[in-house]
A = this chain, B = another copy of it.
Amino acid sequence: MNKPTVHDIAREAGVSLSTVDRVLNERSGVRAFNVEKVKAAVEKLGYVRDTNAANLAKKRQYRFLFVLPDGASQFVDTLSAALNEAVAGLLIERVTAQILHVDATDPHAIVLALESIDPARCDGVAIMAPETPQVRDAILHLKEAGLPVVALVSNLPNSNVDHFVGVNNRQAGKTAALLLGRFIRRDHGSILVVTNSMLARDSIERRYGLDELMAQDFPGLGPLPTVELHDDPHRIAQVVSTALQTHADLAGIYSMATGNAALLDCLRRAKRLNDLVFVAHELTPVTSSALLDGEIDAVIKQDVGHLVRSALRVLRAKVDGMSILPAQERIRIEIVIRENLL
């Protein structure tokens, strides 16, 4: 009772191997009648193409492109590193990936990058960038060319991408809210909320989740309006000192920003790290060491290794027309505290 092969299909359908091949690979020149016979045989025997053998015969190479923001983000750095590591491990599986760094704040640059993709030399694209109308159109154009496209980290809900590889950011915001609410031992107080830019879809969604849960479960804790830091040390220093002065009841900080180093520096100088509950996003060298030192209380994280491996698996499955294991591709919202940091 071995796995059926194309030969079994041919025998079962009463046609030749060539015909089976023409049907399976959607080539023309087969009567509808025979197409049906083959499909019925496939169905009956439960045939699944052996992708490994097929790839061997085709000398297939999966060439994927990752479009990532440039700039000095530790998160993107760890993401790139994880990608390179994953690809090194998948080299035997004929998977290669190239990274294209673009200025994510410039929609035009993203469009240019996407338009430069030659569908004949690339088999799939993963994109981490904010969605603008231009970007959306460029993606639709790629999809028309038959390329699978997945959104990475930040969703692109209007671009008809094949898959979103990332966490539910509204839930991530709620998770942060619950941790803040439970770690803060008072019933009343205000919470400083910072991010790089409120243009990014993930920031918007996280803020939404934060407010929702705070209002519901911790009405005494008031998250202040989101402050945009734009990765600017001067601005960060200014924001922190105003916040400390204006809000004597400050009890916690929720940072969705990437510039946590400068933020921590200011708070350290103000000697406020011990009495403030600090929840940040993404595990980087900065947040890890702050966790270990007890300066940051919890980090909301998505596993970069899981992200890139999932993106690669999904892209490969789409290229091969195979289905995916949803449970394996769900990216979890991970909570990291000092003790499960490793």
Interface residues of A (CB under 8 A from B): 48, 50-53, 55-56, 82, 85-86, 89, 91-93, 168, 171-172, 174-175, 177-179, 182-183, 185, 213, 297, 303, 305, 309, 325, 327-328, 330, 332-340, 342
Contacts and interface: CB of A to CB of B under 8 A. Distances in A.
A175 B339 contact: yes
Stoichiometry, as copies per complex, reads 2
A333 to B, nearest CB: 4
Max count, chain B CB within 10 A of own CB: residue among A50, A185, A340:
A340
Nearest to A309: B328
Contact of A51 (B92, B174, B327, B342): B92
A96 to B, nearest CB: 11
A335 B337 contact: yes
Contact of A53 (B56, B297, B338, B339): B56
A103 B85 CA distance: 41
A198 B130 CA distance: 52
A171 B52 contact: no
Interface SS of A by simple majority: helix
B55 A178 contact: no
B182 A213 contact: no
B330 A342 contact: yes
B174 A325 contact: no
Contact of A92 (B50, B89, B305, B327): B50
Nearest to A185: B185
Given A183-B182, A305-B327, A339 B89 contact: no
Contacts of A174: 339
B337 A89 contact: no
A339 B178 contact: yes
A175 B50 contact: no
Contact of A52 (B56, B305, B335, B339): B56
Contacts of A86: 325, 328
A209 to B, nearest CB: 8
B333 A85 contact: no
Given A56-B56, A92-B48, A334 B334 contact: yes
A44 to B, nearest CB: 18
A91 to B, nearest CB: 8
A327 B92 CA distance: 18
Given A56-B53, A332-B334, A175 B340 contact: yes
Contact of A340 (B56, B327, B333, B342): B333
Contacts of A305: 327-328
B325 A89 contact: yes
A335 B332 contact: no
Contacts of A92: 48, 50-52
